[in-house]
Amino acid sequence: MPAAHAELFSVGPDEAVVTFTSAPGERCTTRVGHHEVVTEGPRHFVSVTGLEPATEYALAVDGVAPGGPLPAAFTTLDQPVGPRLASFATANDVHFGEEECGHLGPPHEDIGPFFASPPGTPPYVETMNAAVIAEMQALGPDAVVVKGDLTDKGTDDQFAAFLAAYGTFGDALSFVRGNHDAMRDPTLAVEGAPFTVELAGCTLAVLDTVEPGRAGGRLTTDQVQWLDDLAGETVGPVLVFGHHHVWPIDAPVRPDDYFGIRPDDSEALVGVVARRENIAGYFAGHTHGNRVWREPTRGVPFVEVGTPKDYPGAWAEYRVHEGGYTQIVRRVSAPTAFDWAEHTSGQYLGLYRELARGALAERCFTQRF
């Protein structure tokens, strides 16, 4: 079996990650510039480090024609100016308690196929999040922010399972609720948002975008004013986090019941970002995909990051420098987690891989302060 699903998934200033599958025992060579890495199937996770920032490298995988998610060449990210001051990690839509993935919502919207853990095996949500947590621990982050949908149905037991897993980060952990967490109890996982996390080189501002009873979100006037005041009083960069994604204010259609933050509230948030030059990004989840919309006047990214629980097993690393930050969306590499991610890429009539992965430039980028 030739290599399948070859993807250049992550790129940083000094590294690149290529993933694909093949027949068990099949050996394949991946070439990144003059680097050659030989891996053995069925799963291939190729991490090439020691690359130069802002440099073009040729890319090839044996037996795979270049194109789409595996370009013939790529350019590493710029390195932000100045020393690295902090590193942190985020996850979202971790969905503790979920037993089957592939559902879009009400039964009439479900198109399948659906995926559940085989009998006698650990729940996939626990397997996937454990793999993500281990990778985050290896990073040694100064902070970890989990951006909502901590649970699948908002039960106390599911919330306790989330805390037991991510609580390993101790005081470095911050989290905010998502719409799934408010399905039964509108006070579950309300942890005093909005709040800040102070890091060397930047301030993290965490917002509560949940509107209990709706899948979509909102942002209250008080929180918009809180963010405006915070940015005005803060000397350094501010990075903003919430569960729901923003409605792109330049979109041609203004929906009445938007899946993300309501259009009026989105306009208010975007207005603060446009006005406050030290706000350098807004980071959300909710859509289970990797995407970026940029504010028209300053080009500030409004980011959506995929989920750890199924394909691609996503989480995000952030490196903060004096002159900017780098976002690198990663996918899990642990064998069982990698296999589950590949298995579940067939959701939504086989379209999920393309929908969830997003473009490389929307997963990995450097933003200047």
Domain ranges for the chain: 4-75, 84-368
Residue 153 confidence (pLDDT): 97
d(CA 155, CA 159): 6
Fold of 84-368: Purple Acid Phosphatase; chain A, domain 2 (3.60.21)
Structure tokens at 271: 């207005």
Q: Residue 155's closest CA among 188, 131, 179, 122?
A: 188
Other Cβ atoms less than 10 A from the Cβ of 213: the count is 9
CA 45 to chain CA centroid, nearest Å: 19
Name the pTM for this structure.
Answer: 0.97
Fold of 4-75: Immunoglobulin-like (2.60.40)
Q: Residue 206's closest CA among 160, 159, 264, 148?
A: 148
Using the predicted structure, report yes or no on whether residue 97 has a pLDDT greater than 80.
yes
d(CA 125, CA 129): 6
Q: What type of residue is 307? A: T
Q: What percent of the chain has pLDDT over 90?
A: 96
Beta carbons of 6 and 64 less than 8 angstroms apart: yes
CA distances from 330 to 83, 92, 197, 257, 289 (A): 23, 13, 23, 32, 13
CA 139 to chain CA centroid, nearest Å: 16
Using the predicted structure, report yes or no on whether residue 345 has a pLDDT greater than 70.
yes
Helix (H) or strand (E) holding 363: helix 360-363
Using the predicted structure, report yes or no on whether residue 109 has a pLDDT greater than 90.
no
pLDDT tens across 36-90, in order?
999 999 999 999 999 999 999 999 999 999 999 999 999 999 999 999 999 999 9
d(CA 99, CA 334): 21
